[in-house]
Chain A
Amino acid sequence: MLEPLLRVENLRVELPTRRGVLTAIDDISLAIAPGEVLGVVGESGAGKSLTGAAIIGLLEPPLRIAAGRITLAGRRIDKLPDEAMRRIRGREIGAIFQDPLTSLNPLYTIGRQLVETIRTHLDLSPAAARDRALALLAEVGIAGAETRINHYPHQFSGGMRQRVVIALAIAANPRLIIADEPTTALDVSIQAQIIAMLRRLCRDHGTAVMLVTHDMGVIAETAHRVAVMYAGRIVEIGEVAEIVAHPRHPYTRGLMDSIPRIGGRRQRLRQIDGAMPRLGAIPPGCPFSPRCPEVADRCRRQRPDLLPAIGTEAACWLYDKMLLPEKETLDG
């Protein structure tokens, strides 16, 4: 494996409230290599978007990083002053959010927004920046870039707007893109176009991508590896093909089983009873234990860390002391 571009180690994000400090993200570690797409999947409230926000330094106060470290290409970025972080955003890390309307300024033409972003990060003349803007628009598949560059965001459809947002995100050739539900607001046929484009960018430029979504289908088609989050923790992480075919954590299994599929016998969907605990009410031990079909006494008392689990890593006591042949253990 290539030297990771992004490394998150033992990250903890806390939310101080009047009734005490809640832990929104609890001790997560992950790494992304150049050219790799890491999917982060989980239900609403699992902490997947917060992880992305923590990495780009956009946690909304009072949320704060309480422990751990984040390094980008060997440089520590979680403790940088605001101004330094602002330079990294856009230049080194690009961001794509769910709703393209809120990422674009409605009062400026997209050309002006692109040129401004390019000139903030790259030392280019206005004319050269405009040329680059046109090239970017062509690259993200916007036809007639010469005319479209003078249009305002409201003159674009949802899918086209998301393309503009992606053009903005890659304007300065960042090495990492954080894409938070980039296709959720779009129709399936447009979704397919955007996914294909993200994959191409990743392949052609060696950009690392962290793809945050609740849609396992999107992850399966786009990502190389996937981290499954539950109640602020990573409960399983591994190769996509492995996790899709042989999920090891009982939560991942339940999640995969509850996805309706086309083809095959139509029967009752398998469901996980209950709901993910709220932040203030995460049970001790394994957070999934109250809903887990394989729960044991130990699960209610003691929190499992990620353990090698036949092809993936799962935070589950089922895999404790499991004797694995040497070749089946994965490196991080």
Chain B
Amino acid sequence: MAEPETLLHVEELHRSFDVSLPALERLLKGKKRATLKAVDGISFTMRRGETFALVGESGCGKSTVARLVVGLYRPSAGRVVFAGQELARLRSRKAAAPVRRRLQMIFQDPYASLNPRWRVKRIIAEPLRTHRLVASEAALRERVAELLLQVRLSPADGEKFPHEFSGGQRQRISIARALASNPEFLVCDEPTSALDVSVQAQILNLMKDLQRELGLTYLFISHNLAVIYQMSDRVGVMYLGRLVEIASAEQLFASPRHPYTRLLLDTIPSIEATAREREPVAGEVPNPIHPPSGCSFHPRCPFANDRCRRERPELINAGRTLVACHAVEEDRLPRARRYTVYETSIPQPQ
């Protein structure tokens, strides 16, 4: 492969939700319509075989992006182009099915995402039947067994029901279901957030192994920066529906540029720093229905000035990082604390 191939392209993606009161109540209380801009103009590109992570606090819109990418939501504006095809333009189910097959999702809660009344073999077989990927019942059984082995479960587990499994095992079942249709691209929305750390390690290792074996591309959503450091090649940091910084994982952790990225890195409880005295940053994520003017981070930003309160920053090139910050552009930020980071040692798919 000469040039890394672009597999996913997201362009000026917007998605708003109507959060107005019911019409009559609105009239009586004299309130206006209210919209929540969950995703407010996001663009990024993903190469085949890479892991791109989105990180941010709750309500920043990262899960909405995940759902837009797999087509669970339609964009209010902007485009999601997967392997050269724009998903939202494929009007009929029939036209969309071949693209859908190549693009699957793993959800956060393995307790809610598996049908409790179905046996595991039926859960995993569902995508195979939907997309008519197997010719006979015998082939179906064989493929289900193969998928169970692939996620390090045993074929006999297919006869059981989801409640007979632990959280980690259920997440393996979700992964097997996602892999059933031979996808190239997996959207993983907080895949390990509901799991205990020792189980999380098992699932993250499994995901890395599968990526290497099958050449998968991951869009990885998480609020846990340590998990993101371990898993991803490139990282996008989101705040109130916008990307504020995009960089390679090494670059982002070695020299974070955006003040919000720095805040996130500074606030992670660290195992090495026992009883570290730290100055927590005051303030919280503002209400996204009434986002602040200008840069939406300015009320919490120690470096905000008049321009930040007025003018919304766009992503600009700053060295090897894309960052949306006036202070970076004007070069008035102090140096950040750095993590010692080695150049990539994540095994790349061949």
Q: Within residues 81 to 107 of chain A, which ones have a CB less than 8 A from any CB in chain B?
A: none
State the A residues within 8 Å of B (CB).
Answer: 43-44, 157, 159-160, 187-193, 195-196, 214-218, 220-222, 224, 240-241, 244, 254-273, 275
Which of A157, A259, A273 is B226 in contact with, Cβ under 8 Å? A259
B253 at the A interface (CB under 8 A): yes
B62 to chain A, nearest CB (A): 12
Which of A196, A254, A258, A263 is B280 in contact with, Cβ under 8 Å? A196
A240 to B201 CA separation, bound complex (whole angstroms): 22
A218 with B274: in contact, given A189-B264, A189-B280, A271-B205 (CB under 8 Å)? no
Query: Is the CB–CB distance between A272 and B342 below 8 Å?
Result: no
Query: Is the CB–CB distance between A214 and B226 below 8 Å?
Result: no
B16 at the A interface (CB under 8 A): no
In this complex, what residue of B is CB-closest to A269? B201
A271 to B207 CA separation, bound complex (whole angstroms): 13
B223 at the A interface (CB under 8 A): yes
A-B complex: 8 closest residue pairs judged by Cβ atoms: A217-B269, A258-B201, A43-B196, A192-B280, A263-B339, A187-B57, A269-B201, A271-B201
Q: What interface size band does chain B fall in?
A: 35 or more
B76 at the A interface (CB under 8 A): no
B113 at the A interface (CB under 8 A): no
State the B residues within 8 Å of A (CB).
Answer: 57-58, 166-169, 196-202, 204-205, 208, 223-227, 229-230, 249, 253, 263-265, 267-276, 278, 280-282, 284-285, 339-342, 344-346
Query: Is the CB–CB distance between B198 and A221 below 8 Å?
Result: no
Query: Is the CB–CB distance between A259 and B271 below 8 Å?
Result: yes
Query: Is the CB–CB distance between A188 and B264 below 8 Å?
Result: yes
Task: List, in ascending order, chain B residues with CB within 8 A of A159's CB.
Answer: 284
Which of A222, A256, A271 is B202 in contact with, Cβ under 8 Å? A271
Query: Is the CB–CB distance between A264 and B230 below 8 Å?
Result: no
Interface centre among A188, A241, A262, A271 (most CB of B within 10 A): A262
| 29 A–B pairs (Cβ distance < 8 Å), ordered by A | A44-B196, A159-B284, A187-B223, A187-B285, A189-B284, A191-B269, A192-B278, A192-B281, A193-B282, A195-B269, A215-B269, A216-B197, A220-B269, A220-B270, A220-B274, A221-B270, A221-B273, A221-B274, A221-B278, A256-B271, A258-B197, A260-B227, A261-B271, A262-B268, A263-B229, A263-B341, A264-B341, A271-B205, A273-B202
A196 with B204: in contact, given A259-B271, A267-B345 (CB under 8 Å)? no
Query: Is the CB–CB distance between B271 and A216 below 8 Å?
Result: yes
Task: List, in ascending order, chain B residues with CB within 8 A of A43's CB.
Answer: 196-199
Query: Is the CB–CB distance between A188 and B278 below 8 Å?
Result: no
Query: Is the CB–CB distance between B345 and A266 below 8 Å?
Result: yes
Which of B205, B249, B267, B344 is A269 in contact with, Cβ under 8 Å? B205
Task: List, in ascending order, chain B residues with CB within 8 A of A258's CB.
Answer: 197-198, 200-201
Query: Is the CB–CB distance between A260 and B226 below 8 Å?
Result: yes
In this complex, what residue of B is CB-closest to A214? B196
A220 with B271: in contact, given A159-B284, A258-B200, A267-B345 (CB under 8 Å)? yes
A272 with B274: in contact, given A188-B57, A189-B263, A196-B280 (CB under 8 Å)? no
A265 to B343 CA separation, bound complex (whole angstroms): 8
A216 to B264 CA separation, bound complex (whole angstroms): 18
A258 to B166 CA separation, bound complex (whole angstroms): 18
Task: List, in ascending order, chain B residues with CB within 8 A of A214's CB.
Answer: 196-197
B223 to chain A, nearest CB (A): 7
In this complex, what residue of B is CB-closest to A196? B280
Task: List, in ascending order, chain A residues with CB within 8 A of B227's CB.
Answer: 260
Task: List, in ascending order, chain B residues with CB within 8 A of A270's CB.
Answer: 201
Task: List, in ascending order, chain A residues with CB within 8 A of B198's CB.
Answer: 43, 254-255, 258, 271-272
Interface centre among B196, B202, B208 (most CB of A within 10 A): B196
Task: List, in ascending order, chain B residues with CB within 8 A of A215's CB.
Answer: 269
A160 to B57 CA separation, bound complex (whole angstroms): 16
Query: Is the CB–CB distance between B253 and A263 below 8 Å?
Result: yes
Task: List, in ascending order, chain B residues with CB within 8 A of A265's CB.
Answer: 342, 345
Query: Is the CB–CB distance between B166 and A275 below 8 Å?
Result: yes
Task: List, in ascending order, chain B residues with CB within 8 A of A272's CB.
Answer: 198, 201
A268 to B205 CA separation, bound complex (whole angstroms): 6
A221 with B345: in contact, given A261-B226, A268-B205 (CB under 8 Å)? no
A218 to B197 CA separation, bound complex (whole angstroms): 13
A272 to B341 CA separation, bound complex (whole angstroms): 25
Query: Is the CB–CB distance between B204 and A260 below 8 Å?
Result: yes
Task: List, in ascending order, chain B residues with CB within 8 A of A222's CB.
Answer: 275
Task: List, in ascending order, chain A residues with CB within 8 A of B265's CB.
Answer: 262
Task: List, in ascending order, chain B residues with CB within 8 A of A193's CB.
Answer: 280-282
Query: Is the CB–CB distance between A188 and B272 below 8 Å?
Result: no
Interface centre among B208, B223, B272 (most CB of A within 10 A): B272
A117 to B223 CA separation, bound complex (whole angstroms): 36
Which of B197, B267, B284, B344 is A259 in contact with, Cβ under 8 Å? B197
A244 with B204: in contact, given A189-B263, A272-B198 (CB under 8 Å)? no
A244 to B270 CA separation, bound complex (whole angstroms): 11
Which of B281, B340, B346 is A263 in contact with, Cβ under 8 Å? B340
Interface centre among A222, A256, A269 (most CB of B within 10 A): A269
A221 to chain B, nearest CB (A): 5
A273 to B346 CA separation, bound complex (whole angstroms): 22
Query: Is the CB–CB distance between B276 and A221 below 8 Å?
Result: yes
A258 to B200 CA separation, bound complex (whole angstroms): 8
B195 to chain A, nearest CB (A): 9
Query: Is the CB–CB distance between A221 and B205 below 8 Å?
Result: no
Task: List, in ascending order, chain A residues with CB within 8 A of B276's CB.
Answer: 221
A267 to B345 CA separation, bound complex (whole angstroms): 7
A217 to B280 CA separation, bound complex (whole angstroms): 15
